[in-house]
Amino acid sequence: MTEALAATSPPIATPAAAPVMQALSLDITGMTCAACAGRIERALARVPGVSDASVNLATEVAKVRFEGDGPGLDALVAAVDKAGYQAAPHRPRAALQAGQQAADRRAAWQVLAAALLSAPLVLPMLLAPLGIHAMLPGWWQFVLATPVQFVLGARFYVAGWRAALAGEGNMDLLVAIGTSAAWGLSVQQLLAHGDGHGAHLYFEGAAVVITLVMFGKWLEARARRRTTDAISALQSLRPDQALLRRDGQTVSVPLDAVFVGDELVVRPGERIPLDGLILEGETRVDESLITGESRLRERAPGDAVVGGAINGEALIVVRVSAVGAETVLARIIRLVEDAQSRKAPIQRLVDRVSRVFVPAVLVVAALTLLGWGLGTGEWSRAVLNAVAVLVIACPCALGLATPTAIMAGTGVAARHGILISDVQALETAHAVTLVAFDKTGTLTEGRPSLRACTPAPGFDGRQLLGLAARVQAGSEHPLARAVTQAAAAVGLAVAPAAAGVRALAGRGVCGEVDGQRVWIGSARLFTEAGVTDAGLQAAAQAHAAAGATVSLVGISPLAAEAPVQLIGLLAFGDAIRPGSARAIARLRALGIRTAMLSGDNRGAAEAVAGQLGVDEVRAELLPEQKSAVIAGWRAEGRVVAMVGDGVNDAPALAAADIGLAMASGTDVAMHTAGITLMRGEPGLVADAIAISRRTWTKIRQNLFWAFVYNLIGLPLAAMGHLDPVIAGGAMALSSVSVVGNALLLRRWRPLA
């Protein structure tokens, strides 16, 4: 098999020293929004002995840091309980998965039930403009709307009550107050007028608001599960069992039973269980989860290997150097977990607005009630005016402003090959100022091809390629396929295939062709045999400096101990994707800078960047270094998008403000990224940013109109110029305008 001259891996990072601070994790239940996470953080931070507390809304886990013994578990649980939520000692992710799936199914059924109960209330309103009058009797409306309001919508009352106890406002409190006002007024009208025409009922408004907001919460919960999927995909790279060699015996043991210093036996084709150093055996290792490169790396006694990498064709013995949380793979998992705990910017904005809006509406309603009651003595009129204030302030338009725009934006994006699995990504992409690309498999094809076939003096290039192709004819290695494809392209026969083909562990491959032995492999194979370079050294170094993988080819008689003669070299490279240059140019037209982060050698990275016009290049990076570079850019005030396709890109995708994964990449990358490019075309990055900008514009327009209706309607209602019927109509009109504006996103088309 072929191998690069410079196939050396970047050094594996040394595990960080254990922090002085101690940490304790708690599973949290009952959170409904970002404000909940902040409330729990403040409650935990007030516990004596706690130095810091952070709550990850995505994973529903709180991490408490403290020195020494710190506070007891009971004190932390009591603090969370006092804040209105529930806490328990953290359990492994696998133990929580079944419960999360059951909760998702229960929420889905609740949304469906609310929709079925609300449909008969809404349909008559939709049919009325057509001259079809099918309005249900008032008591039937009451029967359908009440379960939606108080049974299915009970969660909003609970969450709103918690917010009120904490002296804060949120969307749940707005929904509870507004829909209760509409439902209560409807009941009052029904009792006063019966089913007659004098009754103005708003049951459908309350029920529809509850249903739509529940649907939005369900979508949000599903998006949060992405974190669990990403972590599970990463954890699947680590085997559950390991072959432990102890006292001359080899036994299979659980990974938790392995300690630093133990010796593990790793058979060909297996994943290496844990980080360590090779004691015995020479092999090649697929470390693409770290380097992002598909080519195999030579490993010999004394070399370091990383847990999760795939062993090549030889059996090796590894002495464990890191276990548990200190392995490279475990640190990658932690990076993903920590980076994904950030909160959506628009949610923080809505929460801040809600904290002011709710008390303001309550104050206006109370003043309206007292002002009209005390001033005129007509308390029935005072009640109606106060209810009109609450009805027009019902957060229908405010609650629909963001989700309708997001649903329309994600829908049109999906039709054009952009799958948005995280609404935060859609909200954030509009502000991106820098897009960082991985190289292999993102800007390049990820499939090596033969770039050069250079014969030694006195030999023919077709002869060189033909011999190499016949030796590689039976191999599925990517470089072997590149050789056979290149031979077929120029009409060279690869049959009959070489006889007696055998792999040379960590060096190359050899076989018998036309009465001679043909050797293909790394410079190490020929150097150990004492073979001179026959004038090929300069060419080999030039190709390697340009980022190519170089293999040497030699021949020898079949006689034993016969000398080997070099006849040429083969240089392999990864083709640039056809649309990469145009993708970079389109981003530049949008005013966005570009960068490349690669685990490949600097020569290869700079060569690709130079051809594409990329603004910045960082090469030979480990996953931790990629995410550190992104963190540095973000600290400078840049809004960073990361585009990648491999396991090694997962920390960088999570650390960026927004991650975009190529659909041709690994499941880990797609789970971690908020946006997946389904056609695997780099040009879709610019399209994703364009649809985000358009969606963000619609969100701002919707929020503007939602507040305009309230700013105009609230004073009019308080002054008695709007009765509840007109207030309900204005509330409905605001919702229709917001939804209609969002639906204009369906007319969006990709950039030309």
- pLDDT > 70? residue 362: yes
pLDDT given at position 288? 66
Give residue 340's pLDDT band: very low, low, confident or very high (50, 70, 90).
very low
| CB-CB contact of 662 with 680 (8 Å) | yes
pLDDT in tens, 119-178: 888 787 667 667 677 678 888 889 999 999 999 988 888 877 877 776 665 667 767 776
For the chain, the helix, strand and coil percentages under 3-state DSSP, each to the nearest 5: 50, 20, 30
Alpha carbon distance 598, 707 (integer Å): 47
Q: At what angle do helices 623-635 and 328-339 cross, to 10 degrees?
A: 30
pLDDT given at position 279? 92
Least confident of 229-233, 260-264, 385-389, 671-675: 229-233
H-assigned helices in 340-393: 345-376, 379-392
CATH number for the segment(s) 446-573: 3.40.1110.10
Residues of the chain with CATH 3.40.50.1000: 418-444+577-685
pTM of the model: 0.55
pLDDT given at position 386? 76
Mean per-residue pLDDT, 589-604: 82
| CB-CB contact of 337 with 235 (8 Å) | no
pLDDT in tens, 702-712: 888 877 877 88
- Set 303, 438, 574, 649: catalytic member: 438
The proportion of the chain whose per-residue pLDDT surpasses 70, expressed as a percent, equals 76
Contacts 24+ apart (CB under 8 A), 553-559: 553/464, 553/467, 553/468, 553/518, 553/519, 553/520, 554/518, 554/519, 554/526, 555/467, 555/516, 555/517, 555/518, 555/519, 556/516, 556/517, 556/519, 557/516, 557/517, 558/512, 558/515, 558/516, 558/517
pLDDT given at position 681? 80
CA angle, corner 696, sides to 691 and 699, nearest 5?
130
Alpha carbon distance 207, 312 (integer Å): 61
Q: How far is CA 679 from CA 426, 596, 665, 692, in A?
A: 18, 21, 11, 18
H-assigned helices in 321-344: 328-339
Alpha carbon distance 418, 611 (integer Å): 26
- pLDDT > 60? residue 347: no
SS3 state at 29: strand
Alpha carbon distance 532, 523 (integer Å): 10
Alpha carbon distance 493, 512 (integer Å): 16
Q: Give one DSSP letter per residue of 603-645, joined into a string.
A: HHHHHHHHHHT-SEEE-S--HHHHHHHHHHHHHTT--EEEEE-
pLDDT in tens, 259-285: 999 999 998 888 899 999 999 988 888
Alpha carbon distance 262, 319 (integer Å): 6
Give residue 546's pLDDT band: very low, low, confident or very high (50, 70, 90).
confident
Alpha carbon distance 569, 519 (integer Å): 11
Does residue 438 carry a catalytic annotation? yes
Alpha carbon distance 719, 386 (integer Å): 10
Mean per-residue pLDDT, 587-606: 83
CATH number for the segment(s) 418-444+577-685: 3.40.50.1000
Residues of the chain with CATH 3.40.1110.10: 446-573
Q: How would you class 263 by CB atoms within 10 Å of its CB: exposed for 0-12, middle for 13-18, buried for 19 or more? A: middle
- pLDDT > 60? residue 523: yes
Residues of the chain with CATH 3.30.70.100: 22-91
Q: Give one DSSP letter per residue of 59-101, joined into a string.
A: TTEEEEEESTT-S-HHHHHHHHHHTT-EEEE---HHHHHHHHH
- pLDDT > 80? residue 500: yes
Residues of the chain with CATH 2.70.150.10: 241-323
Alpha carbon distance 569, 550 (integer Å): 7
**Could you tell me the sign of the dihedral formed by the alpha carbons of 311, 316, 321, 322, in that order?**
positive
pLDDT given at position 619? 81
Alpha carbon distance 269, 518 (integer Å): 26
pLDDT given at position 682? 86
- Nearest residue to 653 (alpha-carbon basis) of 440, 325, 340: 340
- pLDDT > 70? residue 597: yes
- Determine the distance from the C-alpha atom of residue 336 to the mean position of all C-alpha atoms in its chain, rounded to a whole number: 9
Task: List phi, psi (to 5°) of 102.
Answer: -65, -40
- Nearest residue to 595 (alpha-carbon basis) of 546, 656, 671, 650: 656
Running DSSP on this structure, what letter comes out for residue 494?
-
Mean per-residue pLDDT, 571-597: 88
Per the model's pLDDT, the better-predicted residue between 144 and 339 turns out to be 144
Alpha carbon distance 583, 589 (integer Å): 10
pLDDT in tens, 420-477: 777 677 778 888 999 999 887 788 877 778 888 999 888 888 889 999 999 888 776 6
Contacts of 643 (CB under 8 A, 6+ apart): 435, 436, 437, 438, 442, 659, 660, 661, 662, 677, 682, 685
pLDDT in tens, 35-73: 677 778 888 888 888 888 877 665 677 888 887 777 788
CA angle, corner 273, sides to 268 and 276, nearest 5?
95
The amino acid at 582: R
pLDDT in tens, 652-699: 888 888 888 876 655 555 566 678 776 778 888 999 899 888 988 888
| CB-CB contact of 694 with 749 (8 Å) | no
Q: Is the peptide bond before 496 cis (omega within 30 degrees of 0)?
A: yes
Two structure tokens written together for 48: 């004596």
Scanning the structure block, which residue is given the tokens 């015995």?
280
Alpha carbon distance 338, 340 (integer Å): 6
Specify the CATH architecture of the domain 241-323.
Distorted Sandwich (2.70)
Q: Which CATH number fits domain 22-91: 3.30.420.110, 3.30.70.100, 1.10.357.20, 3.20.20.140?
A: 3.30.70.100
pLDDT given at position 657? 87
Give residue 227's pLDDT band: very low, low, confident or very high (50, 70, 90).
very low
Alpha carbon distance 351, 504 (integer Å): 64
SS3 state at 568: strand
Contacts of 641 (CB under 8 A, 6+ apart): 429, 432, 434, 435, 436, 656, 657, 658, 659, 660, 685, 689
Q: How far apart are the first and last CA of the chain?
A: 44
Contacts of 255 (CB under 8 A, 6+ apart): 238, 239, 240, 241, 242, 273, 274
- pLDDT > 80? residue 341: no
SS3 state at 148: helix
| Paired strand residues for 284 | 298
Scanning the structure block, which residue is given the tokens 């969660």?
155
